[in-house]
Amino acid sequence: MYPESLNKLIQSFKMFPGVGNKTAERYALLILEKDEEEVSRFIEALKESKEKIKTCTICGNYTEEEKCLICSDKSRNEKLICVVQSPKDIIAMEKTLEYKGVYHVIGGLISQSKGILPEDLKIKELLERIDQSIEEVIIATNPTLEGETTALYLDKLLKEKNVLVTRIAHGLPMGGHLDYADELTLIKALEGRKKM
């Protein structure tokens, strides 16, 4: 139905999460409607991002320098480390404007079914960061089987470092309804309860 080059473009857009046939087709057709200069800027932004962006040598966040903006910020509380799965989790945490500590990206979650073992993650690097100055490590992995497995594994290792280990609370979201929540969500909501 479409020329081969357009089919290739549609297939390229389908690599993005949540982009199916219809959306990929819309994106590809939109590119064809753009003028040459806009398309060139888009291509250049893709190339530049791929060439310049790397991971922070301290925490694993995205950066163009050796250290990311958060690790370079002297106003951050370096005694508080929040452990996350990926740099996109840092973005989510930063949007709250509440957390003022630093981060550590472990680069995934332990998953037997996917063949991801603890040694495949940046856990050794996390342990190397933990010294007497660290007061608390917050584990902020997703409330999934893999996230819970990883959190428990980290908790066990970090207890040996004699540091306070906490886990972000999970439970019902704002606007959520009890009758729509699954059992695990309700259990986590009960566990994370606090005094009114």
Where in the sequence is the domain holding 169, given as residue range(s)?
77-191
Look at residue 192 and tell me whether its pLDDT is greater than 70.
yes
Over range 80-100, report the average pLDDT. Answer: 93
- For the chain, the average pLDDT equals 91
- From the list 27, 35, 29, 103, the residue with the least C-alpha distance to 70 is 103
Confidence of residue 180 (pLDDT cuts 50, 70, 90): confident
How much of the chain exceeds pLDDT 70, in percent? 97
* Number of domains forming the structure of the chain: 2
CA–CA gap between residue 142 and residue 188 (Å, rounded): 12
Residues 85 and 142 reside in one and the same domain = yes
Residue 114 domain-assigned (yes or no)? yes
Residues 106 and 183 reside in one and the same domain = yes
- From the list 98, 60, 56, the residue with the least C-alpha distance to 77 is 98
Residues 101 and 158 reside in one and the same domain = yes
Residues 160 and 87 reside in one and the same domain = yes
Residues 46 and 85 reside in one and the same domain = no
Over range 81-96, report the average pLDDT. Answer: 93
CA–CA gap between residue 137 and residue 129 (Å, rounded): 11
CATH of residue 17's domain is 1.10.8.420
In this prediction, residue 188 carries a pLDDT of 77
Residues 113 and 185 reside in one and the same domain = yes
Residues 24 and 103 reside in one and the same domain = no
Residue 62 domain-assigned (yes or no)? no
CA–CA gap between residue 34 and residue 32 (Å, rounded): 6
CATH of residue 104's domain is 3.40.1360.10
Look at residue 55 and tell me whether its pLDDT is greater than 90.
yes
Amino acid at 103: Y
In this prediction, residue 186 carries a pLDDT of 77
CA–CA gap between residue 114 and residue 90 (Å, rounded): 24
Residues 44 and 89 reside in one and the same domain = no
Confidence of residue 196 (pLDDT cuts 50, 70, 90): low
Residues 111 and 164 reside in one and the same domain = yes
Residues 33 and 85 reside in one and the same domain = no
103: helix, strand or coil: strand
Confidence of residue 178 (pLDDT cuts 50, 70, 90): low
- From the list 47, 138, 21, the residue with the least C-alpha distance to 89 is 138
Residue 71 domain-assigned (yes or no)? no
Determine which of 6-10, 26-30, 136-140, 171-175 has the lowest per-residue pLDDT on average.
171-175
Residues 118 and 167 reside in one and the same domain = yes
Over range 94-118, report the average pLDDT. Answer: 93
Over range 174-194, report the average pLDDT. Answer: 74
Residues 136 and 174 reside in one and the same domain = yes
Over range 23-31, report the average pLDDT. Answer: 96
DSSP 176-188: --GGG--HHHHHH
Residue 23 domain-assigned (yes or no)? yes
For the record, the structure tokens of 146 come out as 């893999």
pLDDT in tens, 109-160: 999 899 999 999 999 999 999 998 999 999 999 888 899 999 999 999 998 8
The pTM (predicted TM-score) of the whole model is 0.82
Task: Identify the bridge partners of residue 139 per DSSP, sorted by sequence position.
Answer: 83, 167
Residue 127 contacts residue 119 (beta carbons within 8 Å): no
